[in-house]
A = this chain, B = another copy of it.
Amino acid sequence: MKAIIPFKKENAKSRLGDFLTEKEREELAIRMLKDVLGAVSGSKIEEVEVLSTCSKDEITEELKSDTELKSTLKLTVREDARELNEVLNDVITKEKEPVLIIMADIPLATSQSINEIIEHEEEVVIAPGRNGGTNALLLRRPSAFFVSYYGISCSKHIETAERRNLSYAVYDSFFISTDIDEVEDLVELLIHGKGFSRDYLRRIGVVLQMDKNSKIRAMIDRS
């Protein structure tokens, strides 16, 4: 099966803008993509297409350095500057084989969870993200579907499956649900992460601290 990973590097993760510099956000974004690719590589997925809004050569170069992917994984990078829904709907209209659309900012995703998603028999499998998002979406007949990211996309995707008479399942995973958008999401990455992006956060001095209400927070030590 093929996976499609949409990726945006320039001005990545703008909601972390008060916490990390632009360069750090871009570095984090590419490392999260590497973590997702690592999870995909360890799963039964055979082919990955990274749909990038920035230069193909740049991403290909970044991914070469220390990313260890299984030798049988076919990885391509495609440059496409169009808006997410537009490009994805264009891609799936032409796609005859099943695809898994998986986000690039879910570095806690595991090979096991990816396998569990693709082992479902339903025509559509929706793995929700926090705040109404859809962080992984399996489409057995991509051309029969229509994606609507942004807003409460998980509900929209369920409605689309219902309206088009496609069988569907909701896949329940904390690690897949955890997209890294805001400072508080970094807490999850530091606690549960094992990959490149967790290592990067540690290296630039992001640490966990407990505030006076016993809530765990991510802080940065720039000393």
Which residues of B lie under 8 Å from residue A131 when comparing CB positions? 184, 187-188, 215-216
B191 touching A152, Cβ below 8 Å: yes
Q: Mark A58-80, 1 if CB is under 8 A from B, else 0.
A: 00000000000000000000000
* Measured CA separation A175–B151 after assembly (Å): 19
**How many residues on chain A are close to B (CB under 8 Å)?**
29
From 142 to 195 in chain A, residues with beta carbon under 8 angstroms from any chain B beta carbon are: 150-152, 154-155, 172-177, 184, 187-188, 191-192
The oligomer's copy count stands at 2
Pairs A-B, 10 closest by C-beta atoms: A174-B177, A174-B174, A132-B216, A172-B173, A172-B175, A172-B174, A132-B191, A131-B216, A173-B174, A150-B214
- What would 17 more interface pairs be, CB under 8 Å, given A151-B210, A173-B174? A128-B174, A128-B191, A128-B192, A131-B184, A131-B187, A131-B215, A132-B187, A132-B191, A132-B216, A152-B191, A152-B208, A154-B191, A155-B191, A172-B174, A172-B175, A173-B173, A174-B177
